[in-house]
């Protein structure tokens, strides 16, 4: 079997997560995070749509991790994101992190907003 090293060009991958934290690009971030080509920063959560809408034109898809279990996001948030031309994929945070990493390694224009597990 041949293994290839994955190179991430624009953003850092999610290297790990646990109760209340994410490890992204070698740094531990407590609480919810927003990460992508613009870097990683704290995210207040599902009530804070402005930082997500600011990604319009920079990304094609936003992965939203809803914590340990999949949950619906507020309808107005989904409508606003889709109206801004941002595709929205909602899943549990562990699945969102894994999917983000795979598509990031393919060079896709994506971001991740995730609530901790």
Q: What is the mean pLDDT of residues 62-85?
A: 97
14 pLDDT above the threshold of 70: yes
Tell me what the pLDDT averaged over the chain comes to.
93
Instruction: Write down the residue that tokens 């990493």 correspond to.
Output: 101
26 pLDDT above the threshold of 60: yes
Instruction: Write down the residue that tokens 């994929």 correspond to.
Output: 89
Residue 86 is encoded by which pair of tokens? 């941002």
The percentage of residues in the chain with a pLDDT greater than 90, rounded to a whole number, is 91
**Calpha distance 98→15 (Å, rounded):** 9
Q: What is the mean pLDDT of residues 63-70?
A: 98
Domains and CATH numbers, the chain: 14-115 (3.40.1230.10)
pLDDT given at position 5 = 52
Instruction: Write down the residue that tokens 């896709």 correspond to.
Output: 108
Judge whether 14 and 23 are in contact, CB under 8 Å: yes
pLDDT given at position 24 = 97
**Calpha distance 80→55 (Å, rounded):** 12
Nearest-5° Cα angle at 53, 48 to 59: 130
Q: Which pairing describes strands 61-66 and 110-115: parallel, antiparallel, or unpaired? A: parallel
pLDDT given at position 6 = 54
Judge whether 18 and 7 are in contact, CB under 8 Å: no
3 pLDDT above the threshold of 50: no
9 pLDDT above the threshold of 80: no
């Amino acid at each position: 079997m041949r293994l290839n090293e994955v190179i991430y060009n624009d953003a850092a991958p999610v290297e790990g997560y646990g109760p209340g934290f994410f490890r992204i690009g070698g740094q531990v971030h407590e609480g919810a995070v927003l990460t992508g080509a613009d870097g990683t920063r704290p995210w207040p959560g599902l009530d804070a749509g402005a930082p997500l809408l600011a990604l319009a034109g920079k990304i094609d898809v936003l992965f939203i991790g809803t914590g340990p279990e999949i949950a619906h996001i507020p309808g107005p948030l989904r409508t606003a994101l889709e109206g801004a031309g941002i595709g929205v994929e909602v899943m549990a945070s562990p699945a969102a992190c894994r999917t983000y990493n795979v598509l990031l390694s393919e060079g896709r224009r994506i971001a991740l907003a995730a609530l901790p597990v």
